[in-house]
Chain A
Amino acid sequence: MEPSNIEEAQQNEDAMTSTDSTQNDLHKMPSVTGFPMPDDAPAPGACIRVERPEAGLAIVIFDPPHRSFPIFDAPLLRDLDIVLSGLEGDTSLKGIVFTGRHPGQFLAGADVEAIQKITDPALVEQAVIAVHALFDRVERLKPRTVAAVGGPVPGGAFEFSLACDRILLVDGKSSRIGLPETMLGILPGWGGTHRLPRRIGIPKALDCILTGRLLPAKPAKKRGLVDRLVHSEDLVRVAIEVAMGRKSCRRASRGIWKWLIDCNPLAKAIIRDQALKGVDSKAHGKYPAPYAALDLVLSAPSASHSTWARREAEAIGSLATGSVCKSLVGIFFASEAAKKLGKRADGSEPNRPVQATVVGAGVMGAGIASSLALAKVSVRLGDLSSEALAGAITNHRKEVDKRRRRKRLQPHDANAAIDHLVGVEGLVGMTQSEIAIEAVAEVLHVKASVFGELAGQLSDDAILATNTSSLSVSAIAKNLPHPERVVGMHFFNPVKAMPLVEVVRGEETNDETVTRTCALAIAMGKTPVVTRDVPGFLVNRILGPYLDEAVRLFVGGADVEHVDALMLNFGMPMGPFVLLDEVGFDIAQHAAASLHAGYGGRMAPCPGLTGMSDDTRLGRKTGKGFYDHPKEGDRKSKRKLAQDLAHFQTESWAGSLPDGEITDRLVYAMVGEAARCLEENVVESESILDLASVFGTGFAPFRGGLWSHAKSVGLGAVCSRMTELHEKEDVQARGAGAERFDPAPVAAQMMD
């Protein structure tokens, strides 16, 4: 952004205080906030309609013609300024209703795209303060102001509502309200960190802001985020009654609690302590936003109104221009883009499946079936073992019960979720399924025969999806009558927790099948990533070298806990050895072997892991791996480093490696493979690779994903470091295995 814009913004802000800003009729006048004005910005005044159906009442409707879902972008803020000027001058008004185009749509908050582009903290501060000024004017309006909202009301849209006297929310399933800003590395800086604690008290406000959760209607009312719930048909009518004082709508008062907690330094100290622990456990000091938000919220009750804007502006200025925010916003956009995979090229959406089949009631099959059932798809889970079926059903019902207890499922929805998972011995009665997902043993002929049997039963347009992680989708599809409807649907363990699904396009898979599979993944609350049918697909392929490199370090004498701590500090959700224990040695070896078979020497696995594993030592599931794990259900004891590890550490070169080199070996082994994936177009773009690395491997989100990290280090620097690693004695000793640190693929990406 050019500096002149700031000046203009400044001038305009000056103009804002007078009432004649409506005279400014330039089509592209500079925005009041300093946000960039989009090219398709409508004429001033066109974004907001004001209706006056009766004397003393104004209904302000946010209806920008250039947005299918309105946001607080520059044109809207500009017009809000114009409208407020008109309202401020009108002494005849008794009530004002602010609402959206229709009850299911209000505003989607601030312009995230604009946030990503800004690099100058001063400019951000300027913009924030300008919006504050606008919202303060809303708050100061003499008539009773009512925000009548519905649908998603995140961030800025909620902060605007907080400036109104009353908030009415549609009592419907699509209503979601809250302040998710910390998820994007910023904080609710348009008054949210101050107005929300004043409204609902510090403890609840902290919960709301630090988790960034968007609440459905009933919990939002219960916690006081809104004052009244209304059916969507009645939203505007009731809002008018409330605004005109004909219907009372009390705002819950905090009463004595305000003095006992919000204004009590001792209570606040305790809350701060607790909240800080909570933040630390998730952010590990890597994400500045929650810490900044915590401080602002705690000081909110004692802060004078005049200092809010300045404090929030300063906080946002540094956060929004920081790298963490850029990274998080980048991933946010990539995940939003992934949601479009569920739509056909012409924008239409495939029908949601009502019936599905899952074959194999092992850990993965059971998890997939449970997730489907919770997504309201009726599932028939087939397995030959009735014990496995009983176990899968038990676990599913446990999960449903947990959600029922936590009020995330209403009792009738919980019943439906239980009804939706049926265990079937064998493969009978699957005829009505629209998709079948197999999660049987990773043996080609087993999978092919399951699909062969299903193909005979299912209707002609049913999809056959395989959850294979190590076999080729095209090979499985080979002798089936409709290979174009065979697709890979690779879930990650544990299915209910892992947000990523790799949708693998086999040689003959058609677009419609990919789209329908992606749509189903999205309906399950997962994020799909379309990959090519290469060994290991994307995630396991980049994770393979990382884990193998870790095993090599271990065999070389590196300290297991130290390496884990280093990678945790780097930003991985857990260290590589903890991860190996979680995955299971057998699974890891199987995956490594298939990568080796697919890619040759570069992926040659270190024999160290095989030497370690036996039936009693396969990771957490057997209670022993690199760590000794407490028994299931034992919550008191923690995992401890296994005592006999030295026995397996046959070399000593890695014992004295500097920390930096350990991290680099692990991370750059992944970067090298990622570069190859990009070269081979395993996924379509770098941002998808980033998304998959974050959602699939848990790669540090604040670094923006694997490839963003490499780029922020500088691909040139990465190359030279890889060259150094490539030359290391132990690496060279691997022969073909040294190829892993060959910088050429990364260098090739630099050329593009």
Chain B
Amino acid sequence: MDSAPPGNDPIPLMIAPSTSSIVIAAGLRSPWIKAGGQFRGEDAGHLGATVTRELLARTGVPAEELDEVITGAVGPPHDQANLSRVIALRAGIPREVPARTVARNCASGMEAVTQAVTEIRAGNGSLYMCLGVEVMSAYPLIMGRKLTGFFESMMKARSLPARLATIASFRPSMLAPRVALLEGLRDPVTNLLMGQTAEVLVRDFGLTREACDTYATESHHRARISRDRGRFEREILPMAPLSRKPIKDLVRHDDGIRNDQTVEALGRMRPYFEKPDGVVTIGNSCGITDGACALLITTEEKARELGLQPLARIKSYAWAGCDPSRMGLGPVFSSKLALEAAGCSLADMDVIEINEAFAAQVLACKQAFSSDDFAQKHLGQETAMGEIDPAKLNPNGGAVALGHPVGATGARLLLTAAHELAVGDHNLALTTLCIGGGQGGAVVLERIDGSAV
């Protein structure tokens, strides 16, 4: 740590960092690409390293000054243990800079940022590269236990009769693969798929299929407008994905946005998770997506020292737990804590980013935020936190349109919200998401005077 600037009163080192404001100094993300699409050939290490290297190059931050690289990922590739380290080294960050990979399901990218905040507050460092990375295209099919057992006994069988006996024990059913993606999206404690937890909320809050589809359509609509007016160009690094086929052009847009989405078209889709009466369809859920997002987290002083114009101040953050079978309500619980820590109310928020895991889940949160009954039962307070103005909620669309590369989304929400403060000339933003297993995470961002527009 650098000591205090000369001339000022000496400030004890243990306290100095915690009193300084912590900021998102800069950020960059890959386009959000539907799994199995243009990023089919990507691997998490390359995708993460690409955005990291470019963020360092564009900001001109000397990589050796980084205190650590923290990467959030839900399903890191099995051949890249400590994905964060792989990304750091592939991005050309000096080997002296350590790296850790962190996980908190869908909030892993946000977890990376809050860990950096914690480190800075504790005085352990002042400059962190934080990432969220997910290449869901690369989720494998796994051989079942039975087949593994079969191979094990084949290896152990030494004599011919033993081998023949083992071979005879083979059953075609052993070949059935396990789909890592599906198993990853099932909560092992409640045995519910994530979509099924959304259906629980639908019943709890009496949501209708039409409300969900309308919300989903609006998400596509907003995302399309933002894309067309170049809003995402501030965030997205046009890139050449790894691919077997020749690349014709750099990929520069999120490809989940449907230009002509209508409620009617969504209405024709069949429920996916609970047939026949469910309301959650593929159309009003987030897409399975690949993407990576990198954020430079540091103190305001350090950012200025590095010649950077920070995007936003991190005012507070909070994590909260809730019922795993109603994990979609996580944002309500965590936002309450984060807002309290920031000393703000929901009404103070100019922008609210709630991750759209499912349209139904966002609508449920919205009701919960404004319900006195819910506040009394679950939040231990008399009155509701407040009504959410739909105009403030996900102004650039959300995961239903853009997609949800699980580990990366938390970082993307922060990046989008941080830019939105300047773009929309706002002061405060709430960024929150629900987390499989029954948690919520929330971060309150504040605009810095003179933030770049």
Contact A390 B249 (CB under 8 A): yes
- Using Cβ atoms and an 8 Å threshold, which residues of chain A touch B238? 386, 425
> Please, what's the 1-or-0 string for B48-84, where 1 marks a CB less than 8 Å from any CB in chain A?
0110011001101000000000000000000000000
CB–CB B249/A386 < 8 A: yes
- Interface flag for B248 (CB, 8 Å): yes
Using a CB-CB cutoff of 8 Å, which residues 23-56 of chain B contact chain A?
45-46, 49-50, 53-54
Does the CB pair A387–B60 fall under 8 Å?
no
Q: Say yes or no: is A428 at the interface (Cβ < 8 Å to chain B).
A: yes
- B-side interface residues, number (CB < 8 Å): 22
Chain B min CB distance to A612 (Å): 32
Find the A residue at minimum CB distance from B92: A378
- Which residue from B53, B91, B252 sits with its C-beta under 8 Å from A386? B252
Assess the A429–B250 pair: CB atoms within 8 A.
no
Partner of A415, one of B46, B57, B60, B92: B46
Tell me, in angstroms, the Cα distance from A390 to B247 when the chains sit together. 6
Stretch in contact with the other chain, from A44-52, A416-424, A678-686: A416-424
Contacts A393-B247, A429-B54 given; 17 further ones with Cβ under 8 A? A354-B92, A386-B238, A389-B240, A390-B247, A390-B250, A394-B246, A398-B246, A415-B46, A419-B49, A422-B53, A422-B54, A423-B240, A423-B250, A424-B57, A428-B57, A429-B58, A431-B60
User: Can you report 9 A-B residue pairs in the complex whose CB atoms are below 8 A from each other?
Assistant: A354-B92, A380-B57, A387-B248, A389-B240, A390-B248, A393-B247, A419-B49, A422-B53, A429-B54
Closest A residue to B240 by beta carbon equals: A393
Residues of chain A lying within 8 A (CB to CB) of residue B60: 429, 431-432
Task: Tell me if B16 counts as interface (CB < 8 A to partner A).
Answer: no
**Interface pair B250/A419, CB less than 8 Å apart:** no
Minimum CB–CB distance from B285 to chain A (whole Å) comes to 32
CB contact list, B413-435 vs A, under 8 A: none
B46 touches A386 (CB 8 A): no
| Interface membership of B90, Cβ < 8 A | yes
CA distance A431 to B238 in the complex (A): 20
What residues of B have a CB within 8 angstroms of the CB of A425 in the complex? 238, 250
In the bound complex, how far is the Cα of B90 from the Cα of A652, in angstroms? 63
Name B's interface SS.
loop
B308 interface residue, CB < 8 Å from A?
no
B242 within 8 A of A: yes
Give the residues from 376 to 411 in chain A that come closer than 8 angstroms, CB to CB, to chain B. Answer: 378, 380, 386-387, 389-391, 393-394, 397-398
Which of A386, A391, A416 is packed against the most chain B CB atoms within 10 Å? A386
| Assembled-state Cα–Cα distance A398/B58 (Å) | 27
B78 to A: closest C-beta gap in Å: 15
| Bound Cα distance A391, B53 (Å) | 21
Closest 8 CB pairs of A and B: A429-B57, A386-B250, A393-B240, A390-B247, A429-B58, A394-B246, A394-B247, A431-B60
A391 CB contacts on chain B under 8 angstroms: 246-247
Q: Which residue of B lies closest to A401 (CB)?
A: B244
Instruction: Given A394-B246, A394-B247, A428-B58, check contact A419 B90 (CB 8 Å).
Output: yes
Q: Whose C-beta in chain B lies nearest to the C-beta of A428?
A: B58
Question: Whole-angstrom distance between the alpha carbons of A393 and B250 in the complex?
Answer: 10
A380→B60 CA distance, assembly (Å): 14
Contact pick for A390, options B53, B57, B240, CB 8 Å: B240
Q: Are B92 and A389 in contact (CB under 8 A)?
A: no
Chain A proximity of B46: nearest CB distance (Å):
7
Known: A390-B240, A393-B240. A415 touches B53 (CB 8 A): no
Knowing A390-B247, A390-B249, the reply to whether A416 touches B90 (Cβ < 8 A) is yes
Against B, the Cβ 8 Å flags (1 = close, 0 = not) of A522-538 are 00000000000000000
Binary flags per residue of A426-459, CB closer than 8 Å to B gives 1, else 0: 0011111000000000000000000000000000
In Å, the complex CA distance between A416 and B247 comes to 19
In the assembled complex, the CB of B233 is this many whole angstroms from the nearest CB of chain A, namely 11
Q: How far is the CB of B309 from chain A (nearest CB, A)?
A: 15
Collect the chain A residues with CB atoms within 8 Å of residue B242's CB: 397, 418
User: Could you tell me the distance in whole angstroms from the C-beta of A76 to the nearest C-beta in chain B?
Assistant: 42
**Chain B residue with the shortest CB-CB distance to A380:** B57
The reply to whether A432 and B57 contact each other, CB–CB distance below 8 Å, is yes
Which residues of chain B have C-beta atoms less than 8 A from A424's C-beta? 57
In chain A, positions 215-264 with a C-beta closer than 8 Å to chain B are none
Which of B238, B247, B252 counts the most A-chain CB atoms under 10 A from its CB? Answer: B247
Residue of A nearest to B53 (CB): A422
Please give the distance in Å from A376's CB to the nearest CB on chain B.
11
Q: How far is the CA of A397 from the CA of B239 in the complex (A)?
A: 14
Find chain B residues with CB under 8 A from A428 CB.
57-58
- A418 — which chain B residues lie within 8 A by C-beta? 46, 242
Chain A residues near B239: list those with CB within 8 A: 423
Report the Cα distance A430→B92, complex, angstroms: 15
Shortest distance from the beta carbon of B287 to any chain A beta carbon, whole Å: 24
What CA separation (Å) do A378 and B242 show in the bound complex? 17
Contact with B along A172-191 (1 / 0, CB 8 A): 00000000000000000000
- Residues in chain B near residue A380, CB distance under 8 A: 57
Question: B53 CB to closest chain A CB, in angstroms?
Answer: 7
In the assembled complex, the Cα of A536 lies from the Cα of B46 at a distance in Å of: 42
0/1 string, B214-252, CB within 8 A of A gives 1: 000000000000000000000000111010001111101
CB distance from B80 to the nearest CB of A (A): 11
CA distance A680 to B57 in the complex (A): 44
CA distance A380 to B239 in the complex (A): 13
Q: Which of B53, B57, B240 contacts A394 (CB 8 A)?
A: B240
Closest Cβ of chain B to A86, distance in Å, is 50
- When distances are taken between beta carbons in the complex, the residues of chain A under 8 Å from B252 are 386
Query: Bound state CA distance, A425 and B49, in angstroms?
Result: 18
A261-287 contact mask (Cβ, 8 Å, vs B): 1 or 0: 000000000000000000000000000
**CB contact list, B228-282 vs A, under 8 A:** 238-240, 242, 246-250, 252
Using an 8 Å CB-CB cutoff, how does the interface string of A136-172 with B read, 1 for contact, 0 for none? 0000000000000000000000000000000000000
User: What's the least CB distance linking A290 to chain B, in Å?
Assistant: 38
Give, as a whole number of angstroms, the nearest-CB distance from B411 to chain A: 20
Q: Which of B239, B240, B250 has the most CB of A within 10 A?
A: B240
Residue contact B250 to A415, C-beta cutoff 8 Å = no
Shortest B273–chain A CB gap in Å is 38
* CB closest chain-B residue, reference A416: B90
**Contact partners of A394 in chain B: CB under 8 A:** 240, 246-247
